[in-house]
Structure 1
Amino acid sequence: MMIYFSFTFFTLFSVFQIWLGSSSSNNFSFIFLVQVCVVEGARTRGASKIIGVDINPEKRIKGEAIGITDFINPKEIDVPVHEKIREMTEGGVHYSFECAGNMDVLREAFLCTHDGWGMVIVLGIHPTPRLLSLHPMELFDGRRIVASVFGDFKGKSHLPLFAKQCMAGVVKLDEFITHRLPFEKINEAFQLLLDGKSLRCLLHL
């Protein structure tokens, strides 16, 4: 689990260099572990505002516990998500992370970034042949779209430092283990993941 976490964490900590006081929007829908990694990375880097977006209201409590400062449920607002976020952040976030693997969410993630320097980082997997609806002129104001798979993570040089940060409590890994079950209940563990009720479940032999 540490390796999996580190890939997403280093996307924020190493490659994109979120700076102290910047704002980020975490646009997500289903795979909650990736979202939590994004939030932890943004928190560790000192982001002043971390906005979580999810249609599942239960994610608000967990999100607030790990560091989000604001939560938006698209079903509870009467305007597009990007309009709400741009209003909350006086023009848009510096970084927006798309974790759902959904083209509509990716489009919203792009629109909620700030003109001139906003960046969208694509972390979600997009299996369908759909293409992103984007006019070239929308990129002329300086906003960027990039993707990251491993966050430029280098095991030999980065892993020892990352392990020290975890042991020192700089990075909080304990928050990611939400359930512990005996191995014979492995099907129950998978169901918890599918239902969005678990981040990671430790199975004991």
Structure 2
Amino acid sequence: MTGGGADYCFECIGSTSVMAEAFQSSRKGWGKTVVLGVSNGVAPMSIPSHDILMGRSVVGSLFGGLKPKADIPILAQKYVDKELELDEFVTHEMGFNDINAAFDLLTQGKCLRCIIWMDGARENGSVGVENGRACNAKARLTSLSYRD
């Protein structure tokens, strides 16, 4: 179908056997396999070294290639400067005492993003960026996500 393999192959489930199959499905000489799935991290993946020497490649892309130490302060500043629109994704805001209700909303699919305000932060101050770090001078803000 592809006449020699795919230029790009994407593995999205975290199975090392599927990672190897994706690699073998890539084009000899320049095919690239992108591993997106998260495995348990202990199972080895076996690929022929000759294929690597001849130009095939495997790259990982955890979190889309985001580098937290460098990128999160930049993203936080963009949010503060209103260059990054995130507020529309927040469907609920609750105090820490209501954290169990927030989890219930998330597991029931009734909430996209729920912000849990710590120590009365919502009433005490606004979130900002200080020394390249997202912060709140009077309290910390935590975003709650749910994944199976």
Higher helix share: 1
- Using structure 2 for the length normalisation, give the TM-score: 0.45
Higher strand share: 2
- Larger relative CO (CA 8 A, sep 6+): 1 or 2? 1
Structure possessing the higher radius of gyration over alpha carbons: 2
- Using structure 1 for the length normalisation, give the TM-score: 0.35
